[in-house]
Amino acid sequence: MTVGSREAIRLVLQISEREHGERLDKLIASRVTGMSRSFVQQLMKRGAILVNGEPCKPAQRVRYGDRLEVYLPPVEPPTDLEPEFLPIPVIYEDDDIIVFDKPPGIVTHPAPGHEHGTLVNALKAIRPDLQVQPSHRPGIVHRLDKDTSGLLVVAKTEAARLALLEQWQSRSVVKKYTALVHGVVEPDSGTIDAPISRDPVERTKMAVVSWGRPAITHFRVLERFRCATLLDVTIETGRTHQIRVHCAFIGHPVVGDSQYGGDRPFCVPVPRQFLHARYLRFVHPTTGQAIELETPLPHDLRTVLEALRHCEQEQARCPVRD
């Protein structure tokens, strides 16, 4: 299918047993990040969405085994993003993807109050010809908080973006973090299975609430100190602030996280929240090969650990107040 003189992007979806009976426009909007139900309905009116090869209607209910074809219009290069050259290391790149080692202090994509200095602004500067949706955050598949460092994958083509989104949504991507949390975590490993949604009182925060979306975090103790514990954290889901919310929920907030840990004092200076996205494993969207990437703890967080270890060696009292 073509749109004007340019080829549309074809996305094929297979309906699973658990999706049987769902409304078609709602299902597609939930499966394809960045697509609203109104945009899906517009595509249906144009005949750009087919169910088992036939045109469809928004309120149509899908059946187990149905094959959906979604023809997305060609992507125009974004024109409203200001290119900015920023010191963000690229640790892997090919024709389909680019993986950054995001430093702390950089927002992933523009948002109110953060229109400049984002990773997307940097992407626009180094790869100005990318034609990937959505236009305000082209190629972004997932995100990291401003003060969280580590690995972040960006798609360089629309086909790659859709394939990667499918992996993130199906929870097949392995995502590991290093976190330092307050207090001594007693079990050597554990799982936090607690739903997360917007905090009903403080709307700028997330919280564990009964009506929230499922969120699962696994942790393993790497090292214990008198006032803190170093954790290896793996997340199955990717809810906003998930690790920070879950750690605070079990009484061990991330060190340096003022939003969820308050002004809790710590025994050594901490420049920002001690959270680093150190490891990713996913399937390459084109070749099908496994991509496995890891980045070491950055200098500012290594300095915190060195200070803590020195404190332990000197058997100094950790001046943390209750």
Give the tens place of pLDDT for each residue, 246-292.
999 999 999 999 999 988 889 899 999 999 999 999 999 999 999 99
Q: Is 260 exposed, middle or buried (0-12, 13-18, 19+ CB in 10 A)?
A: buried
Q: Write out pLDDT tens, residues 210-259.
A: 989 899 999 999 999 999 999 999 999 999 999 999 999 999 999 999 99
Nearest to 173 by CA among 148, 146, 202, 142: 142
Nearest to 275 by CA among 236, 301, 305: 301
**Ordered DSSP codes for 299-322:** HHHHHHHHHHHHHHHTT-------
Q: What is the pTM (predicted TM-score) of this model?
A: 0.74
| pLDDT confidence tier of residue 176, bands split at 50, 70 and 90 | very high
Angle, vertex CA 129, rays to CA 283 and CA 76, nearest 5: 90
Query: Is 128's pLDDT higher than 70?
Result: yes
Nearest to 163 by CA among 10, 275, 296: 10
* Structure token pair of residue 104: 């702390």
H/E stretch holding 3: strand 2-3
| pLDDT confidence tier of residue 66, bands split at 50, 70 and 90 | very high
| pLDDT confidence tier of residue 147, bands split at 50, 70 and 90 | very high
**Are the beta carbons of 54 and 3 closer than 8 angstroms?**
no
Place of tokens 């403080």: 202
**Are the beta carbons of 132 and 161 closer than 8 angstroms?**
yes
Which residues lie below 8 Å from residue 90, measured CB to CB, with a gap of 6+? 98, 99, 100, 101, 126
Rounded CA-CA distance 62/51 in Å is 8
Cα–chain center distance at 230: 22
Rounded CA-CA distance 21/32 in Å is 18
Which parts of 181-231 fold into alpha helices (H)? none
Query: Is 193's pLDDT higher than 90?
Result: yes
Cα–chain center distance at 27: 21
* 145 given a catalytic annotation: yes
One of 25, 101, 145, 257 is an active-site residue; which one? 145
Q: Stretch 68-80: mean pLDDT, rounded?
A: 67
